[in-house]
């Protein structure tokens, strides 16, 4: 805001502006901007391009749905309108010739965007195969390769955040606060400042984590019962941001990780980057354990125990009354 005031000054010359900037710098009012390295810049560009392709493909798919809705075509009975079964169903619908041609063009565009998306995923996988931060975030249930790569690209050097709240503010998940004098602080909606892509990915990961057993789902269900689904998802996303800061700062994996699932995620990165499949060669890789149902069930049972433990712990919490300011006692 101090620098913006220079542009609105009544008397404005290069000499005066240079003097004002020098005074601001000497007073410590000009924060230093962190410049990412070449690898982080490249990963950010790849993630941004991938988001653009996904948004474009979503718009094209919505156009197809709009055409069907305009002609009162019933809802597709299949889960995905654009897979092979959905497309076969689409060809049997009665539509005008021009609309049928428009849908055919949209389908070709969707296929082309799908190829572009696969190429971008391969490039991202090649850049993050040996990235320890991405591998560490993959140990969190609900965080996939795309989310982990996007978060690491947005953060860059975790050392520039001295505390988790600064990372929360950086992705815009901190609440807006209004306070005056000795009055109580009023907390509103999240600020939505900072990197919107990272915030959206954290919310996406929160929704995925809420579907799998574990402490994060227990936290989600507890908030949802009081405030609703959307607020609960944002609350889990904020908790994920705090969790990411601690994991990257302390270089620790997620405490409730599922080893077989984490190994399967890492194997997906390797396959997308062009690594050989090794299927049928008679050698079991590190991701083989996820194919064994007994091991998956064992990890799932451990996660369910953690979820029940968190739920039991929070149920013992008792609501606390307001503190009497005169004597510090509670009613």
Note the pLDDT tens digit of each residue in 140-166.
999 999 999 999 999 999 999 999 999
209 C-beta neighbours (distance < 10 Å), count? 24
Instruction: Write out the two tokens for 137.
Output: 């975030």
Q: Is the pLDDT of residue 321 over 60?
A: no
DSSP three-state, residue 189: strand
- pLDDT given for residue 276 in this prediction: 79
Tokens of 19: 């003097």
Reading the block at residue 55, the tokens are: 């948004």
Residue 325's pLDDT is what? Answer: 42
Looking at residues 252-270, what average pLDDT do you find? Answer: 90
Q: 71 or 183: whose pLDDT is higher?
A: 71
Global pTM exceeds 0.85: no
pLDDT for 10 beyond 80:
no
The answer to whether the CB of 122 falls within 8 A of the CB of 272 is yes
**How do the domains of the chain map onto residue ranges?**
38-128, 132-276+284-314
The SS3 call for residue 175 is strand
What pLDDT is stored for residue 315 in this prediction?
85
| Res 327: pLDDT | 43
Decide: 166 and 217 in contact? Cβ < 8 Å. no
The closest alpha carbon to 309, from 257, 256, 261, 246, belongs to: 256
Q: ∠ CA(118), CA(266), CA(278), 5° rounding?
A: 80
- Name beta bridge partners: 190: 175
Lowest mean pLDDT among 30-44, 87-101, 109-123: 30-44
Read off the pLDDT of residues 105-140 as tens digits, 9 standing for 90 and up: 999 999 999 999 999 999 999 999 999 999 999 999
- Give the end-to-end CA distance of the chain in Å, rounded to a whole number: 45
Portion of the chain with pLDDT greater than 90, in percent = 62
Is the pLDDT assigned to residue 329 strictly greater than 60? Answer: no
pLDDT band, very low/low/confident/very high, at 254 (cuts 50, 70, 90): very high
Q: Which of 13-22, 24-33, 228-237 has the highest mean pLDDT?
A: 228-237
> Residue 187's beta-bridge partner residues?
177
Question: Average pLDDT, whole number, for the chain?
Answer: 88
Q: Which alpha helices (DSSP H) does the chain contain, by range? A: 4-7, 14-27, 38-70, 84-91, 97-128, 132-137, 145-155, 164-170, 196-209, 215-227, 229-250, 259-272, 293-315
Which residues lie below 8 Å from residue 57, measured CB to CB, with a gap of 6+? 110, 113, 114, 117
């Amino acid at each position: 805001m101090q620098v913006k005031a220079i542009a609105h000054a009544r008397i404005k010359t290069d000499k005066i502006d240079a003097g004002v900037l020098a005074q601001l710098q000497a007073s410590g009012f000009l924060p230093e901007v962190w410049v990412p390295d070449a690898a982080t810049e490249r990963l950010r560009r790849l993630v941004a391009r991938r988001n653009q392709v996904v948004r474009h493909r979503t718009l094209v798919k919505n156009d197809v749905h709009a055409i069907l809705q305009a002609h009162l075509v019933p809802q597709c009975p299949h889960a995905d309108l654009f897979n092979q079964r959905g497309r076969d169903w689409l060809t049997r619908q009665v539509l005008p010739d021009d609309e049928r041609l428009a849908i055919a063009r949209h389908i070709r565009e969707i296929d082309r965007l799908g190829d572009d998306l696969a190429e971008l995923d391969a490039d991202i996988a090649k850049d993050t195969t040996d990235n320890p931060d991405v591998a560490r975030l993959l140990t969190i249930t609900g965080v996939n390769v795309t989310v982990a790569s996007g978060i690491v690209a947005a953060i860059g050097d975790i050392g520039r955040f001295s505390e988790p709240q600064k990372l929360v503010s950086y992705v815009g998940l901190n609440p807006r606060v209004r306070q005056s004098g000795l009055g109580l602080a009023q907390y509103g909606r999240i600020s939505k400042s900072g990197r919107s892509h990272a915030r959206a990915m954290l919310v996406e990961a929160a929704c995925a984590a809420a579907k799998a057993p574990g402490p994060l789902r227990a936290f989600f269900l507890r908030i949802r019962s009081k405030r609703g689904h959307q607020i609960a998802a944002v609350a889990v996303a904020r908790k994920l941001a705090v969790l990411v800061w601690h994991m990257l700062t302390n270089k620790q994996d997620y405490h409730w990780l599922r080893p077989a699932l984490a190994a399967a995620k890492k194997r997906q990165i390797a396959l997308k980057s062009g690594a050989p499949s090794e299927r049928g060669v008679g050698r079991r890789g590190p991701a083989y354990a996820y194919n064994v149902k007994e091991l998956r069930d064992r990890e799932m049972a451990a996660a369910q125990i953690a979820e029940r433990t968190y739920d039991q712990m929070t149920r013992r919490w008792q609501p606390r009354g307001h503190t009497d300011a005169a004597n510090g006692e509670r009613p």
